[in-house]
Amino acid sequence: ALNSLPINGWALNISGLKQVEISVDDNKVGTADIGTARPDVAKVFPDYSQNNSGFNYTLDTGKLTAGNHKITVTATGNDGTTSSQNVTIYRPAAMTDIDFPQNGLLFKGNSTNVGGWALNPSGVKQVNILVDSKQIGTAAIGDGRPDVAKVFPQYNDTKSGYHYTLDTSTIGGGKHTITVQAVGNDGSVQASSITITRPDSLLTIDSPQVNQSFDNQKSVNIGGWALDITGVKQVSIVVDTQPAVNITPGVPRQDVYNAYPDYNNKNSGYNYTLDLTKLGTGTHTITVTSTANSGQTVSSSRTIKVNNPLLVPVTSVSLNKTTDNLT
């Protein structure tokens, strides 16, 4: 960590040295300790008769922003005269890198390692892992990364690596952003992000067919298949505005597995027998919705035509009793 910087030197004044001030970017930050023996200086400048011209100061660099900064040392003599010297230092910027997973990766499994390295001039205190801007965990830090230290020796950090096992079983289909936030000991935060893609949710209605007509038929099978990379929790079937019927898929569909092996589901099928006798003559809409373990949903609809002329809805029955005298 680059939290401190020693500032050492010497100053001579014919009237004697009163003080040495340290400034950063023209703002005074402190006063150096003076009176350190410097016989080497006294030997070169014997006319000053000052053997203790050395000064020492430790500059706290933990709060300096990244970039160049001007350090000014101002020496004041007992007679009030001053002399100063400037030096420019460079404060390295914090850096965060994601080695894995690769940006744009199509990810199919239920977990993945998120790994990389982070550098901060003040040292790295914590590394946060976020998915779609929501923090889901904290990485382990302190992994040895001599390769990084070799490229960036000024950070003096040989253990800049981090690793985290990301559970992707609840991350639904589509694009998602993984963000790594490295927090420095000085409170500064530097982040890096990548995008991964998860396979989309899939839903198909195999039967009934689009606009299929049913004449005097008592029932029809609603069947198809549903896939999600996190697994399908349930399939809901709604006819028009009637209450939903929830079923659990699990019908073997080897054909679907062969076509979409990445989803690793051989039992993606669903079946439901719809009672047509309770539907009036006319057009009806069947909507199938699958809900994944991730909570993600996908829907598909079919319109069918029902013709049940013999089906007469009975709303009420009135029975008038008469008494006949039989002789």
Give per-residue pLDDT as tens, 248-271: 999 999 999 999 999 999 999 999
In this predicted model, which residue has the larger pLDDT, 238 or 321? 238
pLDDT band at 1 (very low <50, low <70, confident <90, very high): very low
What is the pLDDT, as a whole number, of residue 2? 60
Indicate the pairing of strand 297-307 with strand 213-215: parallel
User: Which of 110, 116, 119, 114 minimizes the C-alpha distance to 177?
Assistant: 114
SS3 of residue 288 by DSSP: strand
With beta carbons less than 8 A apart as the criterion, state whether 232 and 249 touch. Answer: yes
What is the pLDDT, as a whole number, of residue 61? 85
Composition of the chain by helix, strand, coil, percent to 5: 10, 55, 40
Residue 36 has pLDDT above 90, yes or no: yes
Which residues 6+ apart lie within 8 Å of 327 measured at CB? none
For residues 96 and 118, what is the distance between their CA atoms, to the nearest angstrom?
4
What is the pLDDT, as a whole number, of residue 319? 54
pLDDT band at 124 (very low <50, low <70, confident <90, very high): very high
User: Which of 109, 117, 131 minimizes the C-alpha distance to 178?
Assistant: 131
Residue 117 has pLDDT above 70, yes or no: yes
- Mean confidence (pLDDT) of the chain: 92
* Dihedral of alpha carbons 142, 143, 146, 151, sign: negative
Single-letter residue type at 79: D
Which residues 6+ apart lie within 8 Å of 109 measured at CB? 168
- Which percentage of the chain shows pLDDT scores above 90? 81
Q: What is the pLDDT of residues 71-95, one digit of tens each?
A: 999 999 999 999 999 999 988 889 9
Residue 314 has pLDDT above 70, yes or no: no
Single-letter residue type at 143: D
Secondary structure element (H or E) that encloses residue 301, with its range = strand 297-307
Residue 245 has pLDDT above 70, yes or no: yes
What is the pLDDT, as a whole number, of residue 122? 86
For residues 237 and 284, what is the distance between their CA atoms, to the nearest angstrom?
13
Q: What is the pLDDT of residues 171-230, one digit of tens each?
A: 999 999 999 999 998 888 999 999 999 999 999 999 999 999 999 899 999 999 999 999
User: Which of 121, 118, 117 minimizes the C-alpha distance to 156?
Assistant: 121
What is the pLDDT, as a whole number, of residue 327? 42
What is the pLDDT, as a whole number, of residue 109? 85
What is the pLDDT, as a whole number, of residue 213? 96
Phi, psi of 259 (to 5 degrees): -80, -30
What is the pLDDT, as a whole number, of residue 310? 62
With beta carbons less than 8 A apart as the criterion, state whether 298 and 203 touch. Answer: yes
For residues 167 and 262, what is the distance between their CA atoms, to the nearest angstrom?
17
pLDDT band at 311 (very low <50, low <70, confident <90, very high): low
For residues 59 and 325, what is the distance between their CA atoms, to the nearest angstrom?
123
